[in-house]
Amino acid sequence: MKSKEEVVQEFRVQTIQDAAMRVIARKGMAAATIQEIADEAGVAKGTIYLYFRDREELVEKTFECAMSQLLEKIDEAIASNEKFDQKVRAIMAAKITFFTANREFFRLYISLRVPEGSAQDQRRQRQHCQPRYRERTQQFADILQQAMDRGEIRRVDPHRLALFIMEGSTAIILERLNEPSSPDEGSDVDFITSFILDGVRKRSRS
């Protein structure tokens, strides 16, 4: 049973993390200040330091929290499908749906791909956030490798292929989030999946 204090604690942490996500989404990683996050959350600056050691930890926990939600969705997508093309469809659909529902997270996600700041900042970022990204790339590379082993797709460097596909699809998602109005999710999922499978070359009949 959770004590009253624990409930309040969790509520505060969540409120601050949500605020952090919105501010980072607006201003970007580097320009999001503690003051603005505090204002957004409706608390004083000092309060944030009751729940997070420093700015670094706040960003990290915020990222971690949203990231594990996304990974969960993707794991589901992978688990519930057998064939490669189904898996790809499901993963792309999960990503688009997730980022549409959590637009704020997207900016944070993008900011953390390439480390910035002082040498020390960069080291910390590489240690904490980049592994999650690498992990995700590797996960996708593994799926590609399996499909190659099963003969479902042709053999190429799975890691490079994973990078290409993930970043390519991220670009489409970014475009969707910036467009005033987007086509329905299904048609973009179709577009991405068919491009991945067959490329752009025209061919007789399938």
Q: What is the closest distance, in whole angstroms, from the C-beta atom of residue 153 to its own copies in the complex?
A: 4
Query: Are 24 and 108 within 8 A, CB to CB?
Result: yes
**Is residue 199 at the binding interface for DNA, with CB under 7 A as the rule?**
no
Residue with Cβ nearer DNA (35 or 80): 35
SS3 at position 53:
coil
Cβ partners under 8 Å of residue 80, min gap 6? 90
Only one of the segments 4-12, 15-23, 96-104, 151-159 lies at the binding site for its own copies (rule: CB under 8 A); that segment is: 151-159
Q: What is the DSSP letter of 200?
A: S
Query: Are 71 and 53 within 8 A, CB to CB?
Result: no
Number of residues that bind DNA (CB under 7 A): 20
Contacted by 116, from DNA, its own copies, none: CB < 5 to 8 Å by type: its own copies
Structure tokens at 171: 């670009």
Total length of the chain = 206
Cβ partners under 8 Å of residue 68, min gap 6? none
Which amino acid makes up residue 7?
A: V
Pick one of 64, 100, 166, 185: the residue that binds its own copies (CB under 8 A): 166
Cα pseudo-dihedral 68, 71, 76, 78, rounded to 10: -160
Binding mask 21-60 for DNA (x = CB under 7 A): ----------xxxxx------xxxxxx-xx---xxx----
Give the binding site for its own copies (CB under 8 A).
27-31, 107, 110-111, 114-119, 121-122, 144, 147, 151-154, 156-157, 159-161, 163-172, 174-175, 188, 191-192, 194-202
Give the binding site for DNA (CB under 7 A).
4-5, 8, 12, 31-35, 42-47, 49-50, 54-56
